[in-house]
Structure 1
Amino acid sequence: MQNLDSLLEIMALLRHPTKGCPWDLAQTYETIAPHTVEEAYEVANAIEQRDFENLKDELGDLLFQIIFYCQLSNENNGFEFADVVDAICNKMIRRHPNIFHKNDFQDAEETRNDLSWEEIKAQERKDKYRNSTPAREISVLDDIVWSLPSLSVALKLQRRASGIGFDWAEISPVLKKISEELCELEAEINSNVSEEKIEEEMGDLLFACSNLARHLNLNPEMALRKANKKFERRFRKVEKLTNNLRDEAKSNILDEMQTYWEQVKLEEKD
């Protein structure tokens, strides 16, 4: 059975200056990054499909991305894979003080640290930027990864703001906010003055919907992914039914498709 050392050796050989693979030798951090994002989504897709045999392969692909970055760094006298492992081990220990820093004669509840996970992360951000040059103000919104899907960014922004008290305690004002944003969007559409303003109001509505998902303890990105899959599944059925229509019936195709759409929805509920 192969082990992690084997994978490290394979990666080193693929990047060997004279014996390596031309494609692998041509890669940089920037060219590999899109593949990393794709592999992460393929992992998520395998989980959604409950395809655990494929998940094993996809996790391997994602691990290979990590090994690739470590090889690139090592070639320039930077960090190695062992340094990455060391960093994540230290981070997990630091963020779980109730587990790793407790007295052996006390249970976890008695030694529970007052700092939450998010509070520990906030302190880490402060420590990171305290001695930065030039000096900069520290914000709870520091280190948001803007390359994430926009719904995920919205969720992170809202969680960070909530962490220092900028949040509604109940769900009713969250629902009211969505209604307000929908009305504002409708008003801009009806005025037909500015496409830019319509886009802005559309963004506000999506942001408010993300906040509702957070208050319901849902991930808006995952909720939308499931909605996308549901639409695909239903539309494929509608498409198949529509293809069986006689040519004369296709002149009224929208009405027919809407009828089939409702039919498919009812069939799925039965």
Structure 2
Amino acid sequence: MSRRASDPSALAGVPHGLPEWKRAERLQQRAAATGFEWTDPQPVVDKLLEEIEEVRAEFVAGADPARLEDEIGDVLFVMVNLARHAGVDFPRALRHANAKFERRFRQMEQLAADDGVEFAKCSLAEQERLWQRAKSAERQS
């Protein structure tokens, strides 16, 4: 008996061994094939905002770790869906975001050194100013 015969769900056979972002994408694709799909990205953005609000509410309520994990998981799941709707390769977008963060962070450290200060000893407000300088410099180049 095939797996599909023993489990008639549209989600049957989506491997558990996939990276979780890829499994989320496959689950969403399977659900979409049944018609459980938004027709444009705006409702996905709305859902993302709803899920982010739920994360914020958990922090306000005292951030029970299990609830917070659940809500952040929902945000990540919706982010995969948004990338899928936008035709964006999720891991590539994350790689680019990581590279951008690393470039800017290294630039912040260099700017602090150029100013004669140790980055780790800067206040968060000073670090934020350095971040904005690094971001501005990157955009101008």
Q: Relative to structure 1, is the Cα distance of residues 189 and 147 closer, same or farther in structure 2, using a 3 angstrom cutoff?
A: same
- Matched with 1:192 is 62
Deviations 1:201-247 (A, max 9, x none): 11111111111111111122221111011101111111122234435
User: 1:138 is matched with which residue?
Assistant: 8
Per-residue Cα deviation, 1:46-103 (whole angstroms, up to 9, x for no partner): xxxxxxxxxxxxxxxxxxxxxxxxxxxxxxxxxxxxxxxxxxxxxxxxxxxxxxxxxx
Amino acid at match of 1:129: R
Counterpart in 1 of 2:39? 169
SS at match of 1:148: coil
- TM-score between both structures, scaled by the size of structure 2: 0.84
Task: Give the match for residue 71 of structure 2.
Answer: 201
Give the equivalent residue in structure 2 for 1:16: none
**TM-score, normalised via structure 1 length:** 0.47
Percent identical residues: 38
Count the aligned residue pairs: 140
Conservation of the 8 A alpha-carbon contact between 1:242 and 1:256: no
The whole-number CA distance in structure 2 between the counterparts of 1:255 and 1:220 is: 31
Q: What are the equivalent positions in structure 2 for 1:147-166 lying under 5 Å apart?
A: 147-166=17-36
Aligned residue type for 1:146: H
Q: Which has the larger radius of gyration?
A: 1
Alignment of 1:34-53 (within 5 A): none
Unaligned runs of 5+ in 2: none
C-alpha spacing 1:166/1:257, structure 2 compared with 1 (3 Å): same
Residue 129 of structure 1 pairs with residue 3 of structure 2: yes
The 2-side partners of 1:247 and 1:204 are apart by 40
- Structure 1 distance, partners of 2:61, 2:121, is 33
Kept after mapping to 1: 8 A contact 2:112/2:118 = no
* Cα distance between partner residues in 2 of 1:261 and 1:193: 28
CA distance in 1, matches of 2:27, 2:11: 7
Alignment partner of 1:232 out of 102, 112, 134: 102
CA distance in 2, matches of 1:243, 1:224: 28
Report the Cα offset of residue 196 of structure 1. Answer: 0.4
Greater relative CO, 1 or 2 (CA 8 Å, sep 6+): 2
Q: 2:111 aligned with 1:241, yes or no?
A: yes
Alignment of 1:56-75 (within 5 A): none
CA-CA distance at 1:144 after TM superposition: 2.1
Match of 2:81 in 1: 211
Instruction: Tell me if structure 1 keeps the 8 A contact 2:113–2:119.
Output: no
The alpha carbon displacement at 1:151 in A equals 1.6
Distance apart, 1:172 and its partner CA: 2.0
Structure 1 residue 251, shift from structure 2 partner: 5.0
From the superposition, tell whether residues 269 and 161 of structure 1 become closer, same or farther in structure 2 (CA, over 3 Å): same
Matches within 5 A, 1:109-128: 128=2
Q: In structure 1, what is the Cα distance between the partners aligned to 2:18 and 2:136?
A: 36
CA distance in 1, matches of 2:59, 2:2: 45
